[in-house]
Structure 1
Amino acid sequence: MANEPHDSQDTAVVDTVVVGSGFGGAVTAYRLAEAGRSVLVAYPPGGFPRSPADMARNFWDPSNGLPGMFGIWSFRGLEGVVYSGLGGGSLIYANDLLRKDEQWFVHESPLPGGGYENWPIGRADLDPHYDRVERMLGSTPYPYAGTPKTLALHLAARQLGLPVFRPPLAVSFAPRPGALPVPGAQLTDPGYGNLHGLPRSTWRLGGECDVGCNYGAKNTLDHTCLSAARHHGADVRTRCEVRGFTPRAGGRDVSYVVHDPAREGRRTATDRLPQHHIGCRRLVLAAGTFGSTYLLPRNRVALPGLSGAVGTRFCGNGDLLGMVLRATAGAGRARPLRLDGSRGPVITSAVRGGDALDDDGSTGRGFYIEDAGYPDFVAWLVESSQLPGGARRLLGFGLHRLLARLGVDPACRVGGQLALLLGPAAFSATSLPLLGTGRDVPDGRLRLRRGHLDIDWTTLTSRPYFDRVRSTMRDIAGALGGDFLDNPLWWWGNRVITMHPLGGAPMGRHPGEGVCDDIGEVFGFPALHVLDGALLPGAVGANPSLTIAAVADRACDRILDGKAASRTAGRAPAGRPAHERPTAVGTALLTPAEAAPPASATPATHPGRGRSGSLAGSTGTPAGSAHTPPAEPPTSLSFTEEMKGHVALDVDDPEQGRALGRSLGQRLSFRLTITARDVNRFVTDPEHATDAVGHVDCDIVGGRLKVERGWFELFTRDGDPSRRRMLYRLYLRTQEGTPLTGHKDVHDDPGVDVWPGTSTLYVRLLTGHTHPDEDPTATVIGAGVVVIRIGDCLQRLTTFRTTGPHPGRAMERFGKLFLGELCAVYGERLARAVPWRDRP
């Protein structure tokens, strides 16, 4: 294992790279026991923060110097909480190992807006893998009988006639299998060891599971699957963030950056970090629903023919938080009922709400409600927030000590006064969070928006489900003589917090239904798998961790018996062979780009056209002339323009690409500075060629891409006197330098279409650095349309700059060329359109 950053350039090709170390990635790394790569931060036992100063830095945001473990995602409609550590979500999940209910593996279940939720696997397919994962994680029910919150939830369930039980937990309560539970006893490491090399002990009666167990009592994936994987030869690396992957002979090249501990605490331009690479024959994406669904569209250019289902079937597994406050008991509910949420693991018991699929008379969508404990320090924070009572007690304590100091009260023992100062702590003792999970509607969609992950999801389509869960929580609070409090975010637009995001790369029976098959292999791309929550085509209903792990375990069986490669071998997308496919997305060039020609005093050759252009050069005198005065330097002219529109991959018609890209929200824009280095030469050159520098923004080709080299030709002719063309050709700095080529046509269409004709750019994306007119082998991988808006056009007028001895003449010559060419195309039609043209 490498706990320090791995900063060398890899040249070897490993069998498998696993991106992520959660329930899918850790199980896969263990089962395959080859080369696994962990992406994020490693924390050994004892390293989970508790102090306010440490907790304030316990968030994952390397750009802002934060190296912590909590990843907080905020979207329209919900907040997502994930974990960025070696072991993924197992480090903070509530240990619950429930199986998905057999009846909840739905088939052809209609979704709002069209489509179906369909599970191509069932409970029988997963049961043997549930068994195997449970053994690995040490599954056992909560063994203690007198825990207040456990007794309270069972009492409330019985009063309401709801089924209640103690779910299996991945917690070590006893020092060895078969022994009696003993708090704080030392655990014996299994035969595969412990990759942290630190001692572990059994559970110590606290509720710290959801902020990280400092004693190692949780059987998290770092202690189990990942330790076993390393024991069997896996290379586990931390502080790495995968950026892209590209095809290579026999597999894929994976690029990643390393977050150096030396940069912690200060802002870092993470998009400029040096990229490292490793080759693999099989790539497994297991970076969690948000991570994997971000990587797929981010590397969309490397996946021609990828299913249009990418990003679909998102849901939050029905997650909903609620609170029981001020529980009471006894005659007339006169005395507080202690729930002690900080005692016991986070979850000890679960209530099940029936589902219409159960065939027992239940209606609606099913759910579970579980007790959700919290650490002791949270109880202190809650009590300190009770300001009125706390202020009175503090004032009373201070008055007593003042009287003692003045000799008025001779009492020297202050135990009673300290007890009064602390108060009864009834609020925290009689309160208990409730966690709901269940079958919400998986009709959300994940997509990239300006380079960032975005979600189109709302609680509205699942409102009957959420109302039913809230109603049951309210009934539980009532049965305990307490009040019910919604998650505060519910008050602000019915927002929810999910710890179990699912979907985005759903499994299906074919590419029209899902991104992957039932073992997570991406349709059309052999040996590329998604094995995490993104693969699930709908809500699990119960806590999904065990199901994610079981699905990954089942996939590993198929991979190891050789069936995975044969399942997709004949389903590669139509088009070019793998070695010709465009590269995956990245922020730096991973393979050498086509080099620019050296600077020269002679005009540069226009690539792909075989004749002189006007990209460089200047006027001068013939060699050998004597006593000739120095030539006057040329005058240059430049301006900056922005254009915006839509684009789609796997189409070659720009209008079709615009329509498809608009429907999918796939935007493309560019900002270019166009420079004519010598205006006189530019005007006389029939190609009117200039340089173009700047960047292109397009999510489906990797966000913001720098233009490596660019050319712009103004009003070139193609043999038709009624036509002029404005051509752009841009070489982009993607991982293999995929060029972006586009053109504008300005010609005599019916009607006076000066503005549309001069403001619309038809874009095509090509493989390789090439020119479409002279390289018939160049493959079009995508197309679309961008336009310049009137506001941007007016802004462009303010960006004109000249450099040289004759700025006014340069602007005049450029203006005459532009207006003259427009008149040549549109003049006659404009003249015919003038009503007084034929008047004497």
Structure 2
Amino acid sequence: MASAGRSVVVLERGRAYPPGSFPRTPSGISHNFWEPAAGRHGLFQMWSFAGLDGIASAGLGGGSLIYANVLLRKDEKWFVHEQALPNGGYENWPISRADLDPHYDEVERMIGASAYPYTDTPKTNAMREAADGAGLSMMLPPLAISFSRRPGEEPVRMGEIPDPEYGNVHGLPRATCVGCGECDLGCNYGAKNTLDHTYLSAAQHAGADIRVRHEVKGFRPLDGGGYEVTYVVHTGQDGEPAVDLPVQTIECERLVLAAGTFGSSYLLLRNRAALPGLSDALGTRFSGNGDLLGFVMQAMDGEVGRQLAANTGPVITSAIRVPDDMDGESDGDGTRGHYIEDAGYPAFGAWLAETTGALGTVGRAAKFATERLVGTLTDSDATSVGADLALLLGDARLTSTSLPLLGMGRDVPDGVLRLREGRLEVDWTTETSLEYFNGVRGTMRTIAEQLGGTYADNPLWWVKRVITVHPLGGAPMGRHDREGVCDSYGEVYGHPGLYVLDGALLPGPVGANPSLTIAAVADRASTHLLETTAASSHIAPAPAEDLPQATSEPQAEDVAPGLVTGASAPSSTSSAGASGIRFTEQMKGFAALGVDDPQAGHDAGKKARERMMFELTISVDDVDRFVSEPGHQGRAEGYVECDLLGGRLDVERGWFNLFVEADDPDERKMLYRLWLTGPGGNPMTFTGFKEVRDEPGLDVWRDTSTLYVRVLEGHVDPDAGDDGVPVLGAGIITIHIPDFMKQLTTFRTWGDHRIGAMEGFGKLFLGQLWEVYGRFATHDEVEPEEAR
């Protein structure tokens, strides 16, 4: 985009990681996690869900910083069409291998893919031997690693890599692969052709504005087109919690989400209220790409331990492919294909594994100490202790004869991503993919047997948990908005100019390592976008130096309305000597977007487990005036919590009206109106009413405890009327008995006539019901600080 002359801004939440900056010490690695609220601004983000853990990255270059470099294409016949899923629905790819092949070519050229060139690496040769013995197909996949100084030259370790014509975003030298097995922790030599060394360096050279430590919080469409993005800038040091950071904004004509499967899905789910008509497919088609970790243990060559040297070479050098039923090579029993790859680890991992083999280490250490003590007491003249030290270290059989195996393939994409109390949640289980996982384990067991060893499951498998480094889905592409969130070019249905171009877009597992396919899909989409849109942009982002710094007070025009500053709440004018009252109310229920009938919203929300609640403090500054005025208006302060609206949202301005007259003389209404702002800066108005009818046999409890809710677009003033205002969603929330009993204890009064204020309000609010419960609320009256 930048090379085509577009104005491009990249907002990256993490920091830049030049060669040499990836930590290796225990202290450094222990702090190398992404949890800004806890003061951690590191590289790894660990997601933990029911049945599954996920690993993502926060840094300039994203997941490429910590992946194992494999650039395999999705198998042609694995682009399935309407393949049924066990619990309903289907997997469908609206694109084909032919659509992606030219983009695969371009990405491989840009990244510089090459197969592992060395022939003396034990684990690579062991994988080839195991594949040959089991009649399986083994390959050396293309890797995003520089093994030689320039393409076509002979491989060399630690050779200096010359910068390409577009330079290097870090401005530091890079060296070719030394085979240290540290790829997944970040390459301190710069041998990995990660996105910061390739696409991002080229983008910056072409004029892209790359901003690190800028974390996007939300976005919303603008009138007339384009989007406003809200973000914060992390300026704190490690150990310094990121709290109350100023929210800043930037506008763009087109917005591309590329925050990873978890990140992009989370942003879309959190900003649903700002995107009316978003497909119901949001959150669906999640899978972990069939990731499963296993181990070859105690490999033997006859009676001698087989040296596998897992810590030699890159993390992955080889791949064994097992065919899929779609290939026509299996038994036609629905087998889902998979890949098994060697999974190396750094040398210090071997030291850790050996030294934690407690009994053997302690025994060897005791023998070493005893022999040295004997030598000292007998005044031995032996000064060479090499043999004794060798004894202390042992034969390292645990690590030298073991090899981790990484499996991945076509598992069942039936997982669902959703928000629960503002947090991302995954509804996924190994159960529907159990046959697939057992097939992967079977292949791993065969490899272990061919190497004269035993197979060991990852201990997490014993509780049917897996770890995925390849999460996919959540905003899947589809042929229409009932099948997918986006079209095949990543553009979100119903929201022109909004794109998802990462793993969230894929409608099912790739089977092979998905990084190359994700990049090819993004390349295809970018090509299409450039071919179908004008070259100029009518909204130009402000240059970085013109934006307010995170450490300074944001300017009003740079901040989403209401996120940093809020309007004052309505208040009755208090006369001298007036007495006031306040109480806190909590209501809970269900809601749905895209409906305007509260009952329909409640029913749909209950079915989808989409909860809504609020906790409000209702305040009246002058009870006498409140009782005498027909509007009976007080102010409402507190928060609304609803994942559909973006999580917990503070009330910026709130109105409460008690017993307002309706058209029917026998009916009264209690009215609520709350101004909210979503995480993307989108203004909303929460409106609700309780109906109280003066009819014989009326259920008073139901009338006073049931609130019919609509959420309107924009901040709508009470005097403006709601006719014609777009309705974002609706639902019903109620007071539960325990919450009502608690509410009665929250009544507080102040002023010269506090008991009179309580009684006057009680007669108006609860009538005869007040006579029963009012006495519990008159104790422990306190005068608010502002009244004192």
1:351-370 paired onto structure 2 within 5 Å: 351-362=320-331, 363=333, 364-370=335-341
Q: Shift of residue 85 of structure 1?
A: 0.9
Query: How many angstroms apart in 2 are the aligned matches of 1:396 and 1:240?
Result: 56
**Contact 1:138–1:170 at 8 Å: present in 2 too?**
yes
Q: Does 1:184 align with 2:154?
A: no
- 1:536 counterpart (503, 506, 513): 506
In 2, are the aligned partners of 1:141 and 1:166 still within 8 Å (CA)? yes
Secondary structure, counterpart of 2:637 in structure 1: strand
CA distance in 2, matches of 1:474, 1:790: 58
Deviations, residues 600-623 of structure 1 (Å, cap 9, x unaligned): xxxx7xxxxxxxxxx32234xxxx
- Counterpart in 2 of 1:216? 190
Instruction: Note the C-alpha offset of 1:589.
Output: 5.9
Post-superposition offset of 1:595: 10
1:527 and 1:564 in contact (8 A); partners too = no
Distance of aligned partners of 1:266 and 1:593 in 2 relative to their CA distance in 1, 3 Å threshold: closer
Of 105, 108, 121, which aligns to 2:95?
121
Hey, what does 2:549 align to over in structure 1?
A: none
Counterpart in 2 of 1:101?
A: 75
Q: Aligned letter for 2:234?
A: H
1:341-740 aligned within 5 A? 341-362=310-331, 363=333, 364-492=335-463, 494-562=464-532, 590-591=560-561, 615-619=571-575, 633-734=577-678, 735-740=681-686
Give the Å deviation of 1:479.
1.7
Alignment of 1:1-400 (within 5 A): 34-39=7-12, 40-248=14-222, 249-260=224-235, 262-269=236-243, 272-330=244-302, 334-362=303-331, 363=333, 364-400=335-371
Aligned equivalents of 1:198, 1:598: Cα separation in 2:
52
CA distance in 2, matches of 1:347, 1:775: 61
Contact 2:93 / 2:478 at 8 angstroms: preserved in 1? yes
The whole-number CA distance in structure 2 between the counterparts of 1:235 and 1:768 is 32
| Deviation of the 1:718 alpha carbon | 0.9
Cα displacement (A) at 1:491: 1.4
CA distance, structure 1, for counterparts of residue 198 and residue 104 of structure 2:
15
Paired with 2:660 and 2:39, the residues of 1 have a C-alpha distance of: 51
Q: Does the aligned pair in 1 maintain the 2:568–2:653 contact within 8 Å?
A: no
Give the drift of 1:559. 0.6
TM-superposed CA distance for 1:353, in Å, is 1.2
In structure 2, what is the Cα distance between the partners aligned to 1:51 and 1:779? 56
Judging changes above 3 Å, is the alpha-carbon distance between structure 1 residues 462 and 772 closer, same or farther for their aligned structure 2 residues? farther
Q: CA–CA distance in 1 between the matches of 2:408 and 2:563?
A: 50
SS at match of 1:140: coil
1:32 shift after superposition: 7.4
Change (3 A) 1:543 1:594: closer
Counterpart of 1:459 in structure 2: which amino acid? T
Residues 147-188 of structure 1 deviation map (CA, whole Å, 9 limit, x = unaligned): 111111111112211111111111111111111111111111
Instruction: Check 1:748–1:487 CA distance in 2 against 1; reply closer, same or farther (3 A cut).
Output: farther
Cα distance, 1:408 vs. partner? 4.0
309 and 250 in structure 1: CA distance in 2 versus 1, 3 angstrom threshold: same
For the 8 Å contact 2:572–2:626, the answer to whether it is kept is no
Q: Deviations over 1:30-77 (max 9, x none)?
A: 777641313122110000110001001100111111111001000111
> Are 2:11 and 2:216, in contact at CA under 8 Å, matched by a contact in 1?
no
Q: Distance in 2 between matches of 1:778 and 1:466?
A: 51
Structure-1 residue corresponding to 2:734: 787
Whether contact under 8 Å (1:327, 1:430) holds in the other structure is yes
For residues 699 and 32 of structure 1, the distance between their equivalents in structure 2, rounded to whole angstroms, comes to 39
> Would the aligned equivalents of 2:181 and 2:345 in 1 still touch at CA under 8 Å?
yes
Matched letter for residue 361 of structure 2: G
| 1:62/1:267 contact within 8 Å kept | yes
The aligned counterpart of 1:576 is none
1:220 partner SS = coil
Write the mapping of 1:688-837 to structure 2, written as runs, cut at 5 A.
688-734=632-678, 735-747=681-693, 752-770=698-716, 771=718, 774-820=721-767
Q: Report the 3-state secondary structure (helix = DSSP H, G, I; strand = E; otherwise coil) of the residue aligned with 1:561.
A: helix
Residues 572 and 633 in structure 2, CA contact (< 8 A), matched pair in contact too: no
User: Against the structure 1 CA distance between its residues 160 and 49, is the aligned structure 2 distance closer, same or farther, given a 3 Å change threshold?
Assistant: same
Displacement of 1:369 in angstroms is 0.5
> How far off its partner does 1:354 sit?
1.5
CA contact (8 A) 1:647 1:783 kept: yes
Q: Give % identity.
A: 58
What is the alpha-carbon distance in structure 1 between the residues aligned to residue 534 and residue 445 of structure 2? 48
Kindly indicate whether the alpha-carbon contact (under 8 Å) linking 2:324 and 2:337 is maintained by their aligned counterparts in 1.
yes
TM-score in terms of structure 2 length: 0.91
Which residue identity lines up with residue 294 of structure 2 in the other structure? G
Letter of the aligned partner of 2:226 in structure 1?
G
In the superposition, relative to structure 1, how do residues 310 and 750 fare at CA in structure 2: closer, same or farther (>3 Å)?
A: farther
Contact 2:3 2:207 in 1 (8 A): no
Distance in 1 between the 2:5 and 2:95 partners? 22
SS in 1 for 2:591: strand
The alpha carbon displacement at 1:819 in A equals: 3.4
Corresponding residue pairs, total: 741
For residues 728-770 of structure 1, the C-alpha deviation after alignment (integer angstroms, 9 at most, x for no partner) is 0112244243221111112257854222221111111112332
SS in 2 for 1:389: helix
C-alpha separation in 1, matches of 2:740 and 2:85 = 44
**Retained in 2: the 8 A contact 1:38–1:86?**
no
The CA deviation at 1:811 is: 2.1
Q: Which range moved further: 112-121 or 308-317? A: 112-121
Structure-1-length-normalised TM-score = 0.85
Contact 1:286–1:531, Cα closer than 8 Å, also in 2: yes
Cα distance in 2 for residues equivalent to 1:268 and 1:684: 48
- Given the superposition, is the C-alpha separation of residues 431 and 321 from structure 1 closer, same or farther in structure 2, using an over 3 Å criterion? same
State the Cα RMSD in Å.
2.1
User: Compared with structure 1, are the counterparts of its residues 436 and 752 closer, same or farther at alpha carbon in structure 2 (3 Å cutoff)?
Assistant: same
* Structure 2 portions without partners, runs of 5+: 536-557, 771-788
| Compared CA separation, residues 752 and 674, structure 1 to 2 (3 A) | same
Q: Which amino acid aligns with 1:276?
A: Q
Quickly say closer, same or farther: Cα 1:44–1:409, change in 2 above 3 A. Answer: same
Specify the code of the residue in structure 2 equivalent to 1:499: V
Match of 2:782 in 1: none
Structure 1: how far apart are the matches of 2:764 and 2:207?
A: 69
